[in-house]
Amino acid sequence: MINWKVILSIAKTHLLTKIKQTSIAALGVTFGIGAYITLVSFMTGLNGMLDDLILNRTPHIHVYNEIEPSKKQPIAIYDKFKNSFNVVHSIKPKLSQKKIHNALPIIHYLNEDDNVRGALPQIKAQIFYIAGSIELGGNLTGINVLDEAKFFNLKDYIIKGSPEDLENNNNGIILGIGVANKMSLDIGDRVQISTIKGAIFPLKIVGLYQSGIADIDDVQSFSNLATVQRILGEAENYITDINIKLHNIDLALPMSKKIEQQFKLTAVDINTANAQFETGTSIRNLITYTVSITLLIVAGFGIYNILNMLIYEKMNDIAILKATGFSGKDVQLIFMSQAMIIGVIGGILGLLLGLGLSNFIDTIPFETEALPTIKTFPVNFNPWFYLIGITFAMISTFFAGYLPSQKAKKIDPVKIIRGQ
Amino acid sequence: MSTILEAKNINKYFRKPVLFHVLKDINFKVNKGEFVSIMGKSGCGKSTLLYVLSTMDTDYEGELYLNNKLITQESREKLSYIRNKHIGFVFQFHYLLSEFSVLENVMLPAKKLGIKTFQEIEYDSMQKLKDLNIENLAKKRASRISGGEKQRVAIARALINNPSIIMGDEPMGNLDSYNSENVFNIFKQLSDEQGLSLLIVTHDEDFAKRTDRIITMEDGRIIY
């Protein structure tokens, strides 16, 4: 039978009479865990920000009509040359339309799929911005603006005006910030747009767009689907791209393959398009965890050391306890519970320290052109980190306490009592 | 008269540094209420015998009975329980837990036994301290009291679980004559009034003569 009350009260007395050593051991854990929490929150916060930079506005699957040469040239179909060696010079891409055939039924079909969060139509058009006699080349993308804001965080990148303003204006345009600066335009002004075919349309600026990537901001503008269709003189079913966002990003690859087969379109999944991001994220995580675990192991050795010393100092006490009827296991539990108390107190203080430092980092200004929505350093306050932190504190103090307490268990009281 | 402690054919060897036969065929009994002293020259094995009898040393041959029950070969857990419940110890050096108060030191074995409630244990401990005239020390730290007082606290601690037998390894060894007399009187009183068995190792002849029985040892044997 184990009498926890007695064991804990002895452990408590030992810890309190050696409060200096106890606090140093606990501080070791506190700094270890605090550093781990701070590091991992900050690093994953940065990771998340970097990933968002690309992934947030990237569709999980991008479907479009690729302009490419036919894979099978006509001569290969012709039976008479079947057994001969054919050389075709100067192959040209196949003449095909840019629009996706039957786009609206396809979008409808995709939206019915349970794995799909949203499938959004887009129209990409080459245009010129006209400022007096100067023509600036650019891209105008026709979008379903409210859905884009919902699924691809478009709102974060509209630094002036709002998606609703565009939705409510048939002749509205959200202009890239680079274009706006070059032409000294602002919200409320009008900009002339010329299509490749030469038609000129005046559009009202209802918002300004900043992606953070200058090359994009210098050319890109957004308008409503219907507006772009009208500018291009196309019908209401003219759609050039479909962007798909899934519930589970891991399904992107199989899904894109399926779409390619089913609809004879080109479908690129996000992992293929941004493979290097996965690698960067996992390596940064690896570094974070290596450093944190090193810190915790160092803290563990501190506890081991201090408990070892404590047991040497308490040899007499151990002998008395054993002589008066405490078993080896009781003595071991006394020292184990000391280690665990140090672990729990140090760990909880470490969590608080980590939370405090993370909160502090969260308030440090961090302004970057790339992410207009971010004003301070990004910190990830994931409760899992705190759970992992306290668990690791308990595990490391358990092992740090186990070895010395095992020694205390084996001490022979007769040797100590006779030794004096 | 019932037997409290009985040793049958106890043999013990020290294996280091060389094989040495310390205890040779020890046989004896301690009856209820008997005050027995063990005498002998230094190195004759009397302390070694006491630690074998105390169940702390399990490395011996032969059989040991406590209250007519064989306790040789019991598990360490069980032996700890037996020490806790049935055996009280008083050592030459006053082994108290120096960071605890006098009262806590006395209460500890009873708390470990866990039969009585905290209030009962506290009351009993105060009672034992009163019996030994040291109730005024109860709240003091064990490291802050004198040697004679420490030994009396140790006796109070040995008594707290109402053991069957008290064992002492030269309990007056380093006390002055006044304190030594005091401790002896306490032992005598416990034996006479409460019928407690006592087994005390000593090399003080005057002390031994006043006990009920003297066991004399020489070279690992009981000679009479």
Which residue in B34, B33, B9 sits closest to B23, CA to CA?
B9
Give the model's confidence band at A358: pLDDT under 50 very low, under 70 low, under 90 confident, else very high: very high
Which residue in A331, A138, A334, A96 sits closest to A228, CA to CA?
A138
Q: What is the DSSP string of A151-178?
A: HH-HHHHEEEE-HHHHHT-TTEEEEEHH
Spatial CB neighbours of A221, under 8 Å, sequence gap ≥ 6: A127, A129, A138, A139, A140, A141, A173, A174, A175, A176, A179, A209
Q: Is A317 on the interface with B (CB under 8 A)?
A: yes
Query: Where exactly are the structural domains of chain A?
Result: 4-55+277-419, 61-78+93-272
What pLDDT is recorded for position A128? 92
Spatial CB neighbours of B200, under 8 Å, sequence gap ≥ 6: B35, B36, B37, B38, B167, B168, B171, B187, B207, B211
Structure token pair of residue A41: 């929150």
Distance CA B183, CA A60 (A): 89
Instruction: Identify all chain B residues contacting A321, using CB atoms and an 8 Å cutoff.
Output: 97, 108
Amino acid (1-letter code) at residue A195: T
Structure token pair of residue A346: 């140090």
Task: Please judge whether B97 and A320 are an interchain contact, meaning their C-beta atoms are less than 8 angstroms apart.
Answer: yes
Would you tell me how many other CB atoms lie within 10 Å of the CB of residue B166? 22
Q: What is the distance in angstroms between the Cα of A312 and the nearest Cα belonging to chain B?
A: 15
What pLDDT is recorded for position A353? 94
Whether the Cβ atoms of residue A193 and residue A130 lie closer than 8 Å to each other: yes
A131: three-class secondary structure by DSSP: strand
Among the residues of A177-251, which ranges form H helices?
Answer: 177-182, 214-217, 225-232
Q: Report, as an integer, the average pLDDT of B35-44.
A: 85
What pLDDT is recorded for position B64? 87
What pLDDT is recorded for position A134? 80
Q: How far is CA A251 from the centre of its chain?
A: 17
Q: What is the distance in angstroms between the Cα of A346 and the nearest Cα belonging to chain B?
A: 24
Task: Please judge whether B92 and A323 are an interchain contact, meaning their C-beta atoms are less than 8 angstroms apart.
Answer: no
Q: Taking 70 as the threshold, does the pLDDT of residue A369 lie above it?
A: no
Owner of token pair 């680079």: A178
Q: Taking 60 as the threshold, does the pLDDT of residue A420 lie above it?
A: no
Q: Taking 90 as the threshold, does the pLDDT of residue A379 lie above it?
A: no
Q: Taking 80 as the threshold, does the pLDDT of residue B92 lie above it?
A: no
What pLDDT is recorded for position A36? 85
**Contacting A residues, span 2-41, partner chain B, CB-CB under 8 Å:** 3, 5-6, 9-10, 13-14, 17
**Could you say which of A3, A328, A420 has the minimum Cβ distance to residue B76?**
A328
Q: What is the DSSP string of B120-132?
A: HHHHHHHHHHHHT
Tell which wins on pLDDT, A348 or A366: A348
What pLDDT is recorded for position B69? 85
Q: pLDDT tens digits, residue range A179-198?
A: 899 888 888 888 999 988 88
Q: pLDDT tens digits, residue range A320-347?
A: 888 888 888 888 998 889 889 988 999 9
Among the residues of B132-175, which ranges form H helices?
Answer: 147-159
**Three-state secondary structure of A64-99:** ECCCCCCCCCHHHHCHHHCCCCCCCCCCCCCCCCCC
Give the model's confidence band at A387: pLDDT under 50 very low, under 70 low, under 90 confident, else very high: very high
B203: three-class secondary structure by DSSP: coil
Distance CA A71, CA A63 (A): 19
Task: Please judge whether B157 and A324 are an interchain contact, meaning their C-beta atoms are less than 8 angstroms apart.
Answer: yes
Stated as kind and residue range, the H or E segment containing A314 is: none
**Over pLDDT 90: what percentage of chain B?**
0
Length of chain A in terms of residues written: 420
Q: pLDDT tens digits, residue range A151-161?
A: 888 888 888 88
Distance CA A244, CA B123 (A): 79
Whether the Cβ atoms of residue A64 and residue A203 lie closer than 8 Å to each other: no
| Phi/psi at B181 (5° precision) | -60, -45
The upper half-sphere exposure of residue B27, i.e. CA atoms within 13 Å in the direction of its Cβ, equals 3
Q: Report, as an integer, the average pLDDT of A165-178.
A: 89
Q: Taking 90 as the threshold, does the pLDDT of residue B159 lie above it?
A: no
Among the residues of A274-327, which ranges form H helices?
Answer: 275-313, 315-323
**Could you say which of B91, B92, B114 has the minimum Cβ distance to residue A1?**
B114
Tell which wins on pLDDT, A334 or A72: A334
Lowest mean pLDDT among A166-175, A236-245, B165-174: B165-174
Domains of chain B, start order = 32-58+75-222 (3.40.50.300)
What pLDDT is recorded for position A372? 65
**Over pLDDT 90: what percentage of chain A?**
11
Q: Which of A28-32, A241-245, A371-375 has the highest mean predicted lDDT (pLDDT)?
A: A241-245
Whether the Cβ atoms of residue A123 and residue A241 lie closer than 8 Å to each other: yes
A9: three-class secondary structure by DSSP: helix
Distance CA A33, CA A386 (A): 9
Owner of token pair 């151990």: A318
Stated as kind and residue range, the H or E segment containing B28 is: strand B20-31
Q: Report, as an integer, the average pLDDT of A303-322.
A: 82
Spatial CB neighbours of B44, under 8 Å, sequence gap ≥ 6: B217, B218, B219, B220
Would you tell me how many other CB atoms lie within 10 Å of the CB of residue A97? 10
Structure token pair of residue A235: 């019908």
Q: Report, as an integer, the average pLDDT of A134-163.
A: 86
Task: Please judge whether B89 and A418 are an interchain contact, meaning their C-beta atoms are less than 8 angstroms apart.
Answer: no
Give the model's confidence band at A222: pLDDT under 50 very low, under 70 low, under 90 confident, else very high: very high
Pairing of strands B69-70, B61-66: antiparallel
What pLDDT is recorded for position A367? 78
